[in-house]
Amino acid sequence: MVRALVLSAALVFATPLLAYNGHEAVTTFTLDNGMEVVVVEDHRAPVVQHMVWYRAGSADEPVGSSGVAHFLEHLLFKGTDTMAPGELSATVAANGGTDNAFTSYDYTAYFQRVAADRLELMMRMEADRMRNVRLTENDIVTERNVILEERNQRTENNPRALFGEQLNAAQFLNHRYGVPVIGWKHEMEELDMDDALSFYRTYYAPNNAILVVTGDVDPQEVRALAEKHYGVIPANPDLPERYRSQEPPQTAERRLIYKDPRVSQPYVQRSYLVPERDPGDQETAAALYLLAELLGGGTTSYLNEKLQFDAQKVVYAGSWYRGVSLDDTTFDLIVVPAEGVSLQEAEAAMDQAMAEFLAEGVKQEDLDRIKMQLRASLIYARDNVDGIGNRYGQALASGLTVEDVQAWPEILQAVTGDEILAAAREFLRPEASVTGWLMRDEEVTQ
């Protein structure tokens, strides 16, 4: 989907965040104006992916303008001083390439995939729209309709997404992570030119951006091209410090029920407020990551063994942890009850299984199996350098450093079962949780 939104909604997550630790393929440096650069080489085919990540996402939006980060992302495909509306994408296509962009809580990113010898053209156009976008009122009106239809498609038409919004809003009492990336509909309807340009002028600058180039490139050539096209753009001296209102201590267990006649398969989802991966301090996050894998990472995971195989109360159980995040994040559990099992029973079975897990402790063979797969995934990851580049871009835009990304695989390998249990006991606290039931309204019969 073009100009796609990175969905934070429930079931999409669970992607492991592994960096290939072969440092020889990764080169990093910083331009004089503060723009960071990551180059990942793969010379098997003459293709390049060129990305620019901005440290600006929906959680950086001003109060009342939810959705403006994503709206601006759409508007960046309109014209600049030297490019007509749509010309950038048309030029990429005319060179046999594809382009797109996405927005999340902590970043907005733009990318093109194209033959390696077209890299300079991509840089020239991307550098141009970093500072020189020109918008008309007509662009605003038309594109606002497009994002409203995007919200219709992703969210309004999908009860699971609507439920996820409510869960998040209840989880975050004071942080902008409680507001959907695409925006609340009533605020999206009011977004205007000033909202978009103000966000643009504040955040779109080289000292707030990361360039990630992957594929058949030479790092020295990338450096020369980057200096020529991005290096000449002055840093924004007024770039604000990246600070969002933080969560107060969470002291009350929250519960919600979302009813929608379009729900055919009810389920229970619970999220906990937990720490994210912090620079130089990723051990807790690593324990939470492995905890998610052990509990709900696959067929052999604890919750599936207990609930799907033994008790046969659920058709599916899962857990995931969104570790790459600037601020405190969530750890999520989901159980989809089997036919004839109520949400109440499914939740009770989940609670009981969690209690048993904490009492029994981590089985070493289960942990070893997961660690073996993590090591293997470093080999498989080399087949997808774009994926490696994406991990760097996401991490650097979310407050981590290159060193953190490279240390992560070894930190994961070093985590012990006791550390995982300790993390579970410390952070999976009811007072920091939201438990939601997604169900069909009982009154509706169809």
Which residues 6+ apart lie within 8 Å of 432 measured at CB? 250, 272, 273, 274
Sign of CA dihedral 211, 215, 219, 223: negative
Which residue type is seen at 138? N
Smallest gap from residue 49 Cβ to another protein (A):
7
Find the binder of another protein among 202, 352, 373, 401 (CB under 8 A): 373
Q: Is 77 in the site for another protein (CB under 8 A)?
A: yes
Q: How far is the CB of 424 from another protein (least distance, A)?
A: 21
> Which CB, 78 or 277, lies closer to another protein?
78
| Residue corresponding to tokens 């989907």 | 1
142 contributes a contact to another protein by CB under 8 A: yes
Cα(249)–Cα(237) distance, integer angstroms: 34
Q: Which of residues 228-267 bind another protein (CB under 8 A)?
A: 261-265
Region binding another protein by CB under 8 A among candidate stretches 6-14, 29-37, 86-94, 424-432: 86-94
241 labelled catalytic? no
Nearer to another protein, 240 or 309 (CB): 309
List 73, 165, 276, 293, catalytic entry:
73
**Binding test (CB under 8 A) with another protein, winner from 312, 344, 364, 413:** 312
- CB of 146: closest distance to another protein in angstroms? 5
Residue 418 or 441: the one with the smaller Cβ distance to another protein is: 441
Give the binding range for another protein (CB under 8 A) out of 111-119, 239-247, 251-259, 416-424. Answer: 111-119
DSSP SS3 for 384: coil
Distance CA 76, CA 134 (A): 9
Tell me how far apart the alpha carbons of residues 51 and 143 are, in angstroms, rounded to a whole number.
23
In the bound state with another protein, the residue whose beta carbon lies nearer, of 273 and 294, is: 294
Which of 239, 281, 205, 220 is closest to 29 using CA atoms?
220
Distance CA 276, CA 421 (A): 17
User: For another protein, which residue of 62, 64, 86, 361 counts as binding (CB under 8 A)?
Assistant: 86
CB atoms within 10 A of CB 275: 19
Instruction: Please give the size of the binding site for another protein, defined by CB under 8 A.
Output: 75
Alpha carbon distance 70, 196 (integer Å): 9
Tokens at 375, concatenated: 């090591």
| φ/ψ of residue 246, rounded to 5 | -95, 165
Between 141 and 422, name the residue whose CB sits nearer to another protein. Answer: 141
Of residues 144-163, which lie at the interface with another protein (CB under 8 A)?
Answer: 144-150, 152-153, 156-157, 159
Counting contacts by CB under 8 A, is residue 94 touching another protein?
yes
DSSP characters for 220-240? HHHHHHHHHHTTTSPP-TTPP
| Residue 274 C-beta: closest distance to another protein, Å | 25
Return the number of the residue (152 or 174) whose C-beta is nearest another protein: 152
Report the nearest approach of another protein to the CB of residue 237 (Å). Answer: 35
CA dihedral 191, 192, 195, 199 (to 10 degrees): 90
Q: Which of 323, 239, 247, 236 is nearest to 285 (CA)?
A: 323
Strands, E assignment, 138-240: 209-215
Report the site for another protein in 194-223 (rule: CB under 8 A): 214-216
Among candidates 50, 35, 54, which has minimal Cα distance to 102? 54
Check residue 441 for interaction with another protein (CB under 8 A): no
> What is the x/- site pattern for another protein, positions 44-63, by CB under 8 A?
xxxxxx--------------
Out of 32, 253, 360, 383, the only residue in the binding site for another protein (CB under 8 A) is 383
Does residue 186 interact with another protein by CB under 8 A?
no
Contacts of another protein in 114-133 (CB under 8 A): 114-117
Instruction: Tell me the closest approach of the beta carbon of residue 369 to another protein, in angstroms.
Output: 5
Instruction: Out of 325, 386, 392, 395, name the contact with another protein by CB under 8 A.
Output: 386
Two structure tokens written together for 262: 């379009």
Asked if 141 interacts with another protein (CB under 8 A), we say: yes
Q: Does 339 bind another protein (CB under 8 A)?
A: yes
Nearer to another protein, 30 or 220 (CB): 220
Contact between 28 and 39 under an 8 Å Cβ cutoff? The reply is: yes
How far is Cα 330 from Cα 350, in angstroms, rounded to an integer? 18
Within residues 393-432, the interface with another protein by CB under 8 A covers none
C-beta atoms surrounding 61 within 10 Å? 26
Q: If you ran DSSP here, which 8-state letter would residue 318 be given?
A: E
Question: Is there binding between residue 1 and another protein (CB under 8 A)?
Answer: yes
Determine the Cα–Cα distance for residues 80 and 88; give it in Å rounded to an integer: 9
Residue 338 touches another protein, criterion: CB under 8 A: yes
Q: Which residues are catalytic?
A: 73
